[in-house]
């Protein structure tokens, strides 16, 4: 059975203050399936060991610091991810009579742009609390050996580009961006190997390389990552394309179109990197030629002796 850091019997009163602006009864049985799905997904980011520790501490009861704050951050993140996963069931009423949507004299369903805004806010808030959890564990690293020694943390720390680069070049938010970095870490490593190490024997990060890597990663992430793992700049581009092509194209086609915009820019930036590499090689070649001793041309005169062998 999948464990979650929640008490089914006290779920609504305990958790309602932790979810943003939701007029929901939040009965545990209504959201359990989506909650379990989130519980399966999150450990891939923070490690299964940390997830198990925080969940067990909560279920045992009366957790102390620093676990208490970490559990609070984890719960807030999971709740926002859960409402995102569960949104279709909140919007629709599934019963024996069929599938209906709410519409009364005083209430009606939300417009598409309002729904998109809600989804973006749910995910951005979930990312924010995941970021707070990661920062809290980093601040109390000695208290969380499961995190300190985890493969997930090691992989994140070894990335050749950092969140600051993604914020600078493609606008990934600093507040919550760690979640994207950890979700996309395999794509970042792939791009570094495919596009940087293939060009340079011993690559060092420069602004030109970082910019090209960021755009390349964004393009590949758009094609491969789950929607909830995409940073806000990509989500908004996808939503804008969906608005313009409402049901006219499959989600895959729209994703590919948005990805293509990032990859097209990445291609131009890789060309700039190639030009920079070429210029440096020319300069190095000139420096090598300039350092060689100059040997004058040997002059041969008519009276010089010569021999046949």
In tens digits, what is the pLDDT along the chain, a chain of 309 residues? Answer: 899 999 999 998 888 889 877 666 678 888 899 999 999 999 999 999 999 999 999 999 999 999 999 999 999 999 999 999 988 777 766 767 766 666 666 666 667 767 778 888 889 899 999 999 999 999 999 999 999 999 999 999 999 999 999 999 999 988 778 889 999 999 999 999 999 999 999 999 999 999 999 999 999 999 999 888 888 888 888 877 776 655 445 577 888 999 999 999 999 999 999 999 999 888 877 776 555 565 556 565 566 555 555
Q: How many CB atoms are located within 10 Å of the residue 169 CB? A: 19
Helices 232-244 and 207-224, axial angle in degrees (round to 10): 50
Contacts of 223 (CB under 8 A, 6+ apart): 255, 256, 259
| Residue 32: partners with Cβ closer than 8 Å, 6 or more residues away | 8
Rounded to whole angstroms, the Cα distance separating 47 from 280 reads 42
């Amino acid at each position: 059975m999948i464990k979650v850091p929640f008490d089914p019997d006290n779920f609504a009163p305990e958790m309602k203050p932790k979810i943003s602006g939701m007029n929901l009864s939040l009965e545990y049985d209504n959201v359990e399936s989506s909650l379990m799905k989130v519980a399966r997904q999150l450990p891939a980011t923070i490690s299964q060991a940390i997830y198990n520790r925080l969940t067990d501490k909560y279920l045992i009861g009366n957790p102390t610091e620093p676990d208490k704050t970490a559990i609070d951050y984890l719960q807030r993140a999971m709740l926002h991810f859960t409402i995102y996963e569960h949104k279709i069931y909140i919007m629709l009423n599934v019963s024996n009579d069929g599938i209906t949507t709410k519409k009364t004299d005083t209430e009606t369903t939300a417009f598409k742009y309002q729904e998109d805004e809600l989804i973006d806010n749910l995910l951005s808030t979930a990312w924010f609390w995941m970021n707070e959890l990661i920062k809290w564990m980093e601040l109390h690293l000695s208290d969380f050996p499961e995190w300190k020694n985890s493969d997930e943390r090691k992989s994140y720390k070894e990335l050749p580009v950092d969140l600051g680069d993604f914020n600078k070049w493609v606008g990934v938010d600093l507040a919550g961006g760690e979640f994207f970095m950890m979700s996309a870490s395999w794509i970042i490593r792939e791009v570094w190997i495919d596009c940087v190490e293939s060009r340079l024997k011993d690559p060092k990060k420069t602004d030109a390389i970082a910019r090209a890597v960021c755009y390349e990663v964004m393009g590949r992430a758009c094609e491969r990552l789950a929607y909830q793992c995409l940073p806000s700049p990509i989500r908004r581009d996808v939503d804008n394309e969906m608005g313009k092509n409402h049901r006219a194209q499959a989600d895959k086609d729209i994703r590919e179109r948005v990805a293509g915009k990032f990859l097209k820019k990445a291609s131009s930036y890789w060309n700039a990197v190639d030009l920079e590499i070429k210029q440096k090689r020319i300069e190095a070649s000139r420096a090598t030629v300039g350092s060689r001793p100059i040997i004058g041309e040997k002059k041969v005169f008519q009276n010089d002796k010569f021999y046949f062998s």
